[in-house]
Structure 1
Amino acid sequence: LLCVSIFSDAFIKLPITENSQVNTSSCPITYYGQEYTTIYINFTGEHMFVCFNGYYNPESNGDCIKAPNTENKTTFELNDDNNPSYWTYATTLVQSSVNTITNNATCYLAFYGSVSIHQWLQNLRLVNDSLVLVLFDDTAQSVCLNWWICLLHFSGFGVKPGTTRQSLDNCTSLICSNTRVSFTSRCDSLSNVTATNRLCTVTGPTVIDFRGQMNSVSDRCEYTLLQDQSTGFSLKANFLERRRRDVSFVDSVTLDFSQGADIQLLQGHRVLVSSPVTLSGLVQTFNGVGLSKDQTGVTADFSLNGSPVSLFFDGTTAQIYIGVPVNVKGLCADSSSSSSSRLSSDSTCQLYNDAADDTINPTTVAQQCNILKSSPFSSCNAVVDPESYIIACRNTLNKYPAVDGLRCQFLKAYAKACQKRQATVQNWWTAAKYHPEPICQDKCSDHEFCGDIHGNTDCRCRAIYASQYTEQNRLGGPTVCKDNTASLTLVGCLLKENGIDYNHLHLNDKTCTGVMDPESHMLKFSFSSDSCGTEVTTNNSQVIFTNAVVTRNSSSDLITRQDKVFIEFSCSHPAPELQNVAFKIIDNWIMIFLQSGEWHYNLTMKAYSDAAQTQLLGPNSDVRLNQKIWIVLETNGLDEEVVSVVTDSCWATSGNSPSSSPRYDLITDGCANAADGTVQVMGNGQGTSNSFSFNMFEFSGKEPSEVYLHCQLQLCVNKNNICEPGCSGPARRRRSLRYRRGTPALISMVWTP
């Protein structure tokens, strides 16, 4: 029951100038069997909305009445005086405006401004601009001016007394009369779908089911559109994002059979039946499905329980026409069944909330979408109700910019629906100023979609995929260092969106260009430590290998249309962390794994009893005093053309700590201890491995005990042989090596007598 009033001298008068909640308990509203004692008033642009169950939300089909906005203000009147003289005037005025009203008024609610109540009643509308029929309830006993408002959210048109319309509420029929609104029981099939409404449209995030009711998909999930449990057939739609993360679009549809290969209709008019298939205007049959393609999209014709079904998909809209109603489930049977129709797991259906696009003008959006009520579309309005398509258009374009042909997507969907009903809309593209965009045929990868890039149609990055790079102001992933090579991968669609032609990019050496992967559209640059113009520098104790991606620049070019690009990336061999690990000689050799940035190498120290290094000292080896021992320090994973290993010092201690005492030096400053004639150093600083020998000993004045050997090493950049320590002559001086002595690598082993 909706209680609305006319003027009176005995009333409660409340000026309202902002969004407000008003208590109407003395003249309650009963709406579809639900009594409301609070009304919500809010002002939006040109309109004032009076709502029953919350403030007006443009994205919902809320229970609201729209009235003219009189400068963001209205006066609310609530009358509970039973003076009959007032009700006579009120009844006469209302009945003259709405000829279906027959009973008398007993109380009223009024919202008015500079517009008369008579005019206001004539302009009653739903939020979707469709007509509201207002009916008095002759049986009402409450003290108010009562009449029924019979509304259908899915179409918005009023229901005339004595007629029946299909409701949004899960296959429930509504019967509206002068005295009551009644509902039929719930049905379980499509048997009551009329012959004039057997089309399901999925366009953008919106599903308009066979009954005309609509719902929107807000996540990135896969949903069942049609499911026939008797045959095991399912028609599934996958929804993905485009430029925004919080608006999803139907991206592909799959015909899933209990037996035989699935058929996937993808972006770019592509079709997969286990593998890509080439279609033309001629029908080709796969697994009982007739497939054909033209310049507008792909059509799949098949049979479902004896009923012919036609599916059309153009990459933005899927439309399913069923010839004979059959018992099926899914969003096309009931668009409100999203929870039971969702196929993806929650982990893959993450919801996002992006910042609102402040460039969107709701007034402009309404004008763009309402064209479906104008010529030449109006010629089809009596056959195909445009209201659901208008709502779908508004809801999407109020959140998502009208780019990539999005506005015309809804117009094309409506025109296609008209065509299915033999009510073809002639030359609608001229009136809509629609210019068909070329499709990205067989072109875009999974993380891309076909859209506009600087006036050209090309593959753009999907928002969620791109955000992992754009949020860090990057065009690709981090540098990957492996052995003595480095690589950098850039995202092709991000390069395009930034106006960068990958064909104009190279490394420091112009001959080193990137390699574009034809499937993933990822551009990969690679260099080794001694190629592509790699620069080798030192910083403290690090050896750094640097290169850069730059734009090719030709002095012969008079003009250029390429932005300058400079992306520097590097790998390094930082000084390894100090290792303080003692190994007994029973471990016949020692390996320490050292990780340096993302390049890595192994450092090993082995002990031998012969100069040929064939007799590795093991757990059962006897080591006698004054026996000559050969120690080999070897690395794996370094480029000896670029880097050398210098054994800086080696010493022995009686304790396991390198700093314990007593201490006996074998190598200092890269050279053998001149006081110990048994020590010889070989190949130090000449490559990535070196060795030394000495005669075995023990510490004096102690009981036989363990002897710990410790060596520390440094990395040195090869240049003019300066890595080799100068150890000749009594007045030897150590050369200035190309490294800074900092924290070296330390490796230790122990002998146990």
Structure 2
Amino acid sequence: MTIKYFSLACSFLKTLTECFSNGTMTALAVKVESAPGLNPGQLTLSDPACGPTYSDDRFAYFHFTVNSCGTTRKFINNVMLYENEISLPDELEVKLNATTSSEEEYQLKVSCSYVANITRTLAFLTRPRDNEPFAETGTGRLMVRMRLAQDASYNTFHQEEDYPVVRYLRQPLHFEVELTTSSDPKVALVLDHCWATLNEDRDSRPRWNLIINGCENPEDPYRVVFHPVEADARVRFPPHVKRFEAYMFSFAGDAVEQSGQVFVHCDVVICDASSPTGGPCSGQCVNQDNLKRGQRHVKDFFEERHVYVSSGYILWV
């Protein structure tokens, strides 16, 4: 008897193809002994651009949707059949056969079938919650940066390599202080104190106050100006950003020689914008009595949320 057609079935420990109700398919292409020179990572679906999601020297794993990667669809009675094929791209297969003594070919057909007209009944059961969900308290770092804008538009800023920045006396300086690592819309940044010194030491003397308790210094003949912040392509959360304008000045006095440089420092507070509870978190410049006395009325609750930032040094000419 001459057998013209026959088939051989192999059992694998893993499922080679899985079909999911959301229209996705997974396929596992296993390396076989008939193709010892095969690199599973080079296998693709019908579309050569669709390679494996993961592969090693033993198998390649594919994950794709039924409307991608060259998958075909046909109807057989009331069933939709999706089919694809895993193989080597033509140029790699030619190269592999040229380096081996016998022709090696790898083809794995994968298919998924879905009933076209069928109604499924879904049911779910609800029950009252014993407790409302809550978020556990966590810890982390809040990063704040202070930058000097090139002009009043606050679109471009001086970089670290630009310092020292040179300004004329009485020329405006446009500062922006930003909370950079938070995406919480309930968090707000408030400028508590800002001042200028002759050097990088924030506690050095002499010192000139620009902002006191969130307000401009009333003794400054050229008071700072607070600029509103609107949401745009760069600023996602306006409460995370504060902008103010100061005027370039020099330190001068009987006991202090005139200097050609200043540093600007700020003491900022991170607040809960949804429930301000006094102190600096009441808002930017809302308590003029605190301003006149020059005293700080900050609860211990907020002391833990103070952040200090400084600018690079600015030369005046």
With structure 1 as the length reference, what TM-score do the two structures score?
Answer: 0.21
| More contact order relative to length (CA 8 Å, sep ≥ 6) | 2
Give 1 or 2 for the bigger CA radius of gyration.
1
